[in-house]
């Protein structure tokens, strides 16, 4: 597959139609690939080198370094490549919100197994997160008045 995407320039994309065999049945899928910008490529390389620098990680292969220059997605959606990447970017933003919520509000560990308790806990945390987000976005919420004096 790497040979199929090596020719891509920055912000250029490609869609490759293929099939996936599951339970004896062929399913159509598309592999969509796009080359990252130079800044993203450098970040990926630094991350790989940092991982390889740890003693428990082995050094990444040359192909891994090269593949890290691309965003590669597999999808069964019947959309154009541009739309697939647009949906992926939107999905990634949602993932980042959940990551932030888990970090800031401890969403990762549920204190109970009862469905009612879990729902109450989750909605309480979600309400707290929405309240904090509203307070941060509200420019009028400040201990200093508009005159600049406390």
If you search the block for the tokens 């009612």, which residue do you land on? 116
Q: Give residue for tokens 């970040």.
A: 43
Q: Is 49 helix (H, G, I), strand (E, B) or coil?
A: helix
| Rounded distance between C-alpha atoms, residue 19 and residue 24, angstroms | 12
For tokens 């976005």, the residue is 137
Number of independent structural domains in the chain: 1
88 part of a folded domain: no
Domain of residue 27: give its range: 2-79
Query: Does any domain span residue 62?
Result: yes
Q: CA 129, CA 136: separation in Å to the nearest integer?
A: 11
For residue 91, what pLDDT band results from cuts at 50, 70 and 90? very high
pTM above threshold 0.75 = no
Tell me the pLDDT tens digit for each residue of 33-75: 888 888 998 998 888 888 777 766 667 677 888 888 888 888 8
Spatial CA neighbour of 22 closest among 78, 74, 85, 82: 74
């Amino acid at each position: 597959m790497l040979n199929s995407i090596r020719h891509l320039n920055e912000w250029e994309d490609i869609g490759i139609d293929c099939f996936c065999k599951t339970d004896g049945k062929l399913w159509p899928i598309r592999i969509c690939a796009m080359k990252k910008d130079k800044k993203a490529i450098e970040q990926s390389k630094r991350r790989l080198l940092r991982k390889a620098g740890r003693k428990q990680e082995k050094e990444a292969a040359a192909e891994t370094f090269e593949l890290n220059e691309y965003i590669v997605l597999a999808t069964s959606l019947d959309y154009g490549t541009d739309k697939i990447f647009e949906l992926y970017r939107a999905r990634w933003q949602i993932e980042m919100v959940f990551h932030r919520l888990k970090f800031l509000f401890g969403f990762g560990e549920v204190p109970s197994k009862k469905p009612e308790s879990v729902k109450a806990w989750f909605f309480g945390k979600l309400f707290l997160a929405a309240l904090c987000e509203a307070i941060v976005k509200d420019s009028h919420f400040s201990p200093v008045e508009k005159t600049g004096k406390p």
